[in-house]
Amino acid sequence: MIEFTNVSKTYPGGVKAIDDVSLTIEHGEFVVLLGPSGCGKTTLLRMVNQLEDITEGSIAVEGKNIHDLNKIDMRREIGYVIQSNGLFPNMTIEENVMVVPNLLGWSKEKRAERFDYLMDLIGMPPENYRGSFPHELSGGQQQRIGVARALAADPPVMLMDEPFGALDPIIRSRIQEEFMDIQKKLKKTILFVSHDIDEAIKLADKIVLLKDGEIQQFDRPAELLNRPVNDFVSEFVGEDSVLKSLNLYQVKDLQATLDLPAVEGSPDGKVFHPHDSLRHVLAHLLHPSRQYVYVEGEDGTTNGPVSVEHIEAFVREITA
């Protein structure tokens, strides 16, 4: 858990980078700090592991005020990943990944075992990479190693500053998915910086939207998209916010809102699965040759028909 209480930060030159931020990130929650360049995302993140001083207010990690903790010790208990991965060029991949366990004095056997586990987790065979050096890896692989290094000592809290920012879109999207799988298993408390709203929507349990060091909205992605609290937020989420948010809803959400009758006999349109995204359903329906689709109910029944009007009704519901 990370708690910010009335945190402000003024840099020596006089720039007020963070302005009275209060925010609680619950245990196991994945929170994305989102906002335009220079809004203070990195600053807010780096205050957590005391790479930046706090000017006013306080931050607590796992219930302890960071001010009372030893900087070095607390940093070893927090995973830290940065955009340019920051791998140490002079160390092998194993040494890089195991750098924190090494600082913590783990035994050789325990380190080797942990290395194998982490490499499997990130989908890179440990034997192939143990003795390699960072420059021998592709950008995507280096970024995975950066994630593995942050996970090495099994920290409950992870700080990630645009970790996938430097990757090309395809690799990036694959690593995002891999990382979501890892997070499902490990349930870390994650504070993640991004300036890409699509990335934030995809990964976040909750999004903090910042502007000039102030929180504009702290909400679940769907709420942020469909119920922006001010003009800045609605402009930031963009005109296609409804479409984006349909990615976040599934067929079963539609069924929960609308009462769809079961169909007798065989359906005359495509049947969607309860976990398919509504955006898929809508995209399918927009084709002029299709009027109806059907959806599979929880108990195996086929319900419908569903038309574009149903989706519109659903959108009215979620944006109300």
Partner 1 sequence: MMDFLDYLGRNYADIFAHTIEHMQLLGVSLTIAVLIGVPLGIYLTTNEQLASTVLQAASIILTIPSIALFGVMIPILSTIGQGIGFLPAVIALILYSQLPIIRNTYTAINNVDPNIRDAAKGIGMTTLQRLWKVEIPNGMPLIMAGVRTATVLSIGIGAIAAFIGSGGLGVLIDMGISRGNQNMVLAGAIAISILAIAADFGLKKIQVKFSPKGI
Ligand X SMILES: Nc1ncnc2c1ncn2[C@@H]1O[C@H](COP(=O)(O)OP(=O)(O)OP(=O)(O)O)[C@@H](O)[C@H]1O
Residues that bind partner 1 (CB under 8 A): 46, 49, 51, 72-76, 80, 82, 84-92, 99-100, 103, 133-135, 149-150, 159
Partner whose binding site includes residue 133, from ligand X, partner 1, Mg ion, none (CB under 5 to 8 Å by kind)? partner 1
Torsion angles phi and psi, residue 129, rounded to 5? -120, -10
* Site size for ligand X (CB under 6 A): 13
CB closer to partner 1 out of 85 and 255: 85
Nearer to ligand X, 84 or 277 (CB): 84
38 binds ligand X per the rule CB under 6 A = yes
CA dist 12 and 52 (Å) reads 11
Distance CA(178)–CA(106), nearest Å, equals 28
Please tell me whether residue 42 binds Mg ion under the rule CB under 5 A: yes
Based on the shown chain and the rule CB under 6 A, indicate whether residue 28 belongs to the binding site for ligand X: no
Residue 183 is which amino acid? Answer: Q
Among 4, 21, 34, 42, binds ligand X (CB under 6 A): 42
15 interacts with ligand X by CB under 6 A: yes
At residue 274, φ and ψ (nearest 5 deg) are -55, -25
What long-range pairs does 131-136 form, CB within 8 A, spacing at least 24?
131/92, 131/93, 131/94, 132/92, 132/93, 133/89, 133/91, 133/92, 133/93, 134/85, 134/87, 134/88, 134/89, 134/91, 134/93, 134/96, 135/89
Closest CB to Mg ion among residues 115, 236: 236
Closer Cβ to ligand X, 4 or 115, answer by number: 4
* Interface positions with ligand X (CB under 6 A): 11, 13, 15, 17, 35, 37-43, 195
